[in-house]
Amino acid sequence: MLWRLEVHDTLPSTSEVCRARAVEGEAAGLAVMARRQEAGRGSFGRAWASPEGNLYISVLLRPVGRLNEGGLWSLLVAVALADAVAEVVPDPAALRLKWPNDLLLNGAKTAGILLDSAANPDGSFASLVIGIGLNIATKPDLPDRPTARLADVVAPPEPEAMAARLLGSLGRWIGIQAAEGFGPVRAAWLARGPEVGTVMRLRYGTTDVDGSFAGLAEDGSILLDIAGKRRAFAAGEVRLQAGA
C-alpha cells in the first residue's frame, strides 16, 4: 500500500475529511492526520478529546469484500497499531488488545479505532474509513475506565513519527491478509488479547451478557462461554470484568 499522508494543524475530524474525499472518488491509500481535532468521535457516539500532542489519523481504503466483513478490519487495524506502538515502548508485553477496537497499556485504554463504511448496492464495500486516536502526550479522564498515554512509560514520540510507524505496520498487515487471509491476523490479535477463560461482560445492544472469553470466530466475532454454551457476538462493547 502506497500511502498519501496529509498533515493538518487543525481539523474538525480526520475521518470526516476522508469520508468526504471518498464520496468525491479519492483512491485508496489516503491518510489524513491532524495535530488537533475539534470534533473527534469515539465508539458509540462518544466525543474523543483531541488536544495537541497525540496522534489523530484516518485512512481511506476500498477493500474487496462485503460490508459485513468490517469487523475483520477493526481487528487488523488493532494488530497493526499494537505492532507500531510496541516499537517505541520499553515493555511490549504491557500492550494488550480489547475486543474489538481498543489498545490497552498496562490495562488502561491508550488508543481507540473507529470504522465508517459505505456500501455499494450489492452490499460490497464502496469505501472504508478507519479513524485512529492514540494518546501520546496527554490522556483524558474518563468516568467509566482508566486511561493511559505513551508518556507514562517513555519519552513521547512525535505524532508524525508515530503516523509513519503506524502506516508502515498497517500496510504490512493489509498485505498479509491479502496473501494469507484472516488467519494470521486472528492469531496475532489473540496473542495480545485476553487469556482464554477471562471473565468479562459484553454490552450487546441494551443487554449485558456475562461470560468467559473463549477466543475469536473465523469472522472476528468474540466467543463467550455462557452457562455451558458457547456463543458468538459480532458487535458489542466488552468490559474486562463482569460487573465492572
The CATH number for 120's domain is 3.30.930.10
* Span 209-221, average pLDDT: 94
Q: Are 106 and 148 in contact (CB under 8 A)?
A: yes
Q: Do both 114 and 79 map to the same domain?
A: yes
Q: Do both 47 and 99 map to the same domain?
A: yes
Q: Which of 170, 192, 214 is the last residue of a domain?
A: 192
45: how many CB neighbours lie within 10 A of its CB? Answer: 6
At 103, list the grid cell: 489498545
Q: Do both 203 and 188 map to the same domain?
A: no
Q: Is residue 179 part of a domain?
A: yes
Q: Do both 70 and 138 map to the same domain?
A: yes
Q: Do both 60 and 78 map to the same domain?
A: yes
Please name the residues in contact with 157: beta carbons below 8 A apart, sequence gap of 6 or more.
Answer: 88, 136, 150
Q: Do both 58 and 23 map to the same domain?
A: yes
Residue-level length of the chain: 244
Q: Do both 97 and 29 map to the same domain?
A: yes
Q: Do both 111 and 178 map to the same domain?
A: yes
pTM of the predicted protein model: 0.92
Predicted confidence (pLDDT) per residue in 106-117, tens digit: 999 999 999 999
Q: Any alpha helices (H) in the chain, and if so which ranges?
A: 14-23, 70-86, 159-180, 183-192
Predicted local confidence at residue 40, as pLDDT:
58
18: how many CB neighbours lie within 10 A of its CB? Answer: 26
Predicted local confidence at residue 101, as pLDDT:
87
Q: Do both 188 and 215 map to the same domain?
A: no
Q: Do both 99 and 11 map to the same domain?
A: yes
Q: Are 226 and 218 in contact (CB under 8 A)?
A: no
The CATH number for 233's domain is 2.30.30.100
Q: Do both 52 and 122 map to the same domain?
A: yes
The domain of 119 spans: 4-192
The total number of structural domains that make up the chain = 2
Q: Is residue 244 part of a domain?
A: no
Pairing of strands 55-61, 30-37: antiparallel
Q: Among 55-64, 85-94, 139-148, whose mean pLDDT is lowest?
A: 139-148
Predicted confidence (pLDDT) per residue in 121-133, tens digit: 999 999 999 999 9
Task: Place 239 in a pLDDT band, splitting at 50, 70 and 90.
Answer: confident
Predicted local confidence at residue 67, as pLDDT:
87
Q: Looking at the DSSP assignment, which residues form a beta bridge with residue 57?
A: 33, 132
Q: Do both 222 and 152 map to the same domain?
A: no
